[in-house]
Structure 1
Amino acid sequence: MRRLTLAALALFLVACDQAEITVRITDAPADELNAVFISIEGLDIEADDGSFTRFDFTPPRRIDIASLRNGRSETLVQNATIDAGSFSGVRLRFAPDFVPDGVINPDPVTRNNGATATLDYVVDRYVVPVDFSVDELDRETLLLDVDLRASMLQDDDDIAANRYRFDPVIRGIRENQAGRIEGTVAADLVNRSPCFPAVYLYEGRETEPTALGDTAPPLNSRRLDNLSIAGGQYRFSNLEAGGYTVAFTCNADADDPESDDADVRFLSVRSLDVEVGRTSTADLN
Structure 2
Amino acid sequence: MNRLTIKYWPGLAAIVASGALIAGCNSGGSSSDSEGEATFSLAVTDAPVDKVDGVFVKFSEVTFNPRDGEPFTVPVENPDAINLLELQGPESEPLVTDETIPAGTYNWIRLHLDADEESDIPLAGSEWSFIEIDGERENLFIPSGEQRGLQLNMPGGETISDGQNLRLVIDIDLRKSLTLTGDDRYILRPVHRLVSLDNVGHLTVLADPALCEDETADNATPATYVYEGETENLGDIGSDNAPLTTANRDDEAVEGRWQFRVGFLEPDTYTVALVCNASEDDPEEGGNELIIGAQGSVDVSGGDTTDELVFETEPDDDDDVGEETSEDEGEPTEEV
Counterpart in 1 of 2:172?
A: 146
Pick which of 224-233 and 27-36 moved more: 224-233
Structure 1 contact 17–84 (Cα < 8 Å) conserved: yes
Displacement of 1:56 in angstroms is: 3.5
Counterpart in 1 of 2:152?
A: 128
Structure 2 contact 81–128 (Cα < 8 Å) conserved: no
Q: Percent identity?
A: 27
Structure 2 contact 57–130 (Cα < 8 Å) conserved: yes
Alpha-carbon distance in structure 1 between the residues aligned to 2:76 and 2:210: 48
Point out where structure 2 has 5 or more consecutive residues left out of the alignment.
Answer: 1-34, 313-336
Alpha-carbon distance in structure 2 between the residues aligned to 1:174 and 1:100: 38
Structure 2 contact 233–241 (Cα < 8 Å) conserved: no
Q: Which has the higher helix share?
A: 1
Alpha-carbon distance in structure 1 between the residues aligned to 2:69 and 2:277: 42
> Given the alignment of the two structures, is residue 280 of structure 1 paired with residue 280 of structure 2, yes or no?
no
Counterpart in 1 of 2:321?
A: none
Residue 185 of structure 1 is aligned with which of 190, 194, 207? Answer: 207
Against the structure 1 CA distance between its residues 87 and 274, is the aligned structure 2 distance closer, same or farther, given a 3 Å change threshold?
Answer: farther
Alignment deviations for residues 48-78 of structure 1 (CA, whole Å, 9 cap, x no partner) = 8898553235995522222222322211111
Counterpart in 2 of 1:5?
A: none
Counterpart in 2 of 1:206?
A: 231
Structure 1 contact 199–246 (Cα < 8 Å) conserved: yes
Alignment deviations for residues 115-172 of structure 1 (CA, whole Å, 9 cap, x no partner) = 33221113322213222454322322101111111111113322xxxx3100001111
Against the structure 1 CA distance between its residues 47 and 213, is the aligned structure 2 distance closer, same or farther, given a 3 Å change threshold?
Answer: farther
Alignment deviations for residues 72-95 of structure 1 (CA, whole Å, 9 cap, x no partner) = 221111110122235686411122
Where does 1:146-185 land on structure 2 (aligned, <5 Å)? 146-158=172-184, 163-185=185-207
Alpha-carbon distance in structure 2 between the residues aligned to 1:236 and 1:59: 24
Structure 1 contact 42–60 (Cα < 8 Å) conserved: no
Counterpart in 1 of 2:49?
A: 30
Counterpart in 2 of 1:8?
A: none
Counterpart in 2 of 1:54?
A: 73
Alpha-carbon distance in structure 1 between the residues aligned to 2:128 and 2:75: 23
Alpha-carbon distance in structure 2 between the residues aligned to 1:185 and 1:79: 39
Counterpart in 2 of 1:4?
A: none
Q: Which has the higher strand share?
A: 1
Where does 1:216-231 land on structure 2 (aligned, <5 Å)? 216-228=241-253, 230-231=256-257
Structure 2 contact 152–194 (Cα < 8 Å) conserved: yes
SS at match of 1:189: helix
Structure 1 contact 176–276 (Cα < 8 Å) conserved: no
Higher relative contact order (CA 8 A, sep 6+): 2
Pick which of 200-209 and 90-99 moved more: 90-99
Where does 1:96-135 land on structure 2 (aligned, <5 Å)? 96-97=115-116, 103=125, 108-111=130-133, 113-124=134-145, 125-132=149-156, 134-135=160-161
Alpha-carbon distance in structure 1 between the residues aligned to 2:76 and 2:309: 40
Structure 2 contact 89–247 (Cα < 8 Å) conserved: no
Superposition RMSD on alpha carbons, in Å? 3.1
Alpha-carbon distance in structure 1 between the residues aligned to 2:94 and 2:129: 23
SS at match of 2:241: coil
Kindly provide the amino acid, as one letter, of the partner of residue 130 in structure 1: M
Alpha-carbon distance in structure 2 between the residues aligned to 1:48 and 1:267: 49
Structure 1 contact 179–239 (Cα < 8 Å) conserved: yes
SS at match of 2:155: strand
Residue 256 of structure 1 is aligned with which of 261, 275, 282? Answer: 282
Point out where structure 1 has 5 or more consecutive residues left out of the alignment.
Answer: 1-15
Counterpart in 1 of 2:86?
A: 67
Structure 1 contact 60–95 (Cα < 8 Å) conserved: no
For these two proteins, the number of residue pairs brought into alignment is 265
Kindly provide the amino acid, as one letter, of the partner of residue 248 in structure 1: L
Alpha-carbon distance in structure 2 between the residues aligned to 1:105 and 1:20: 29
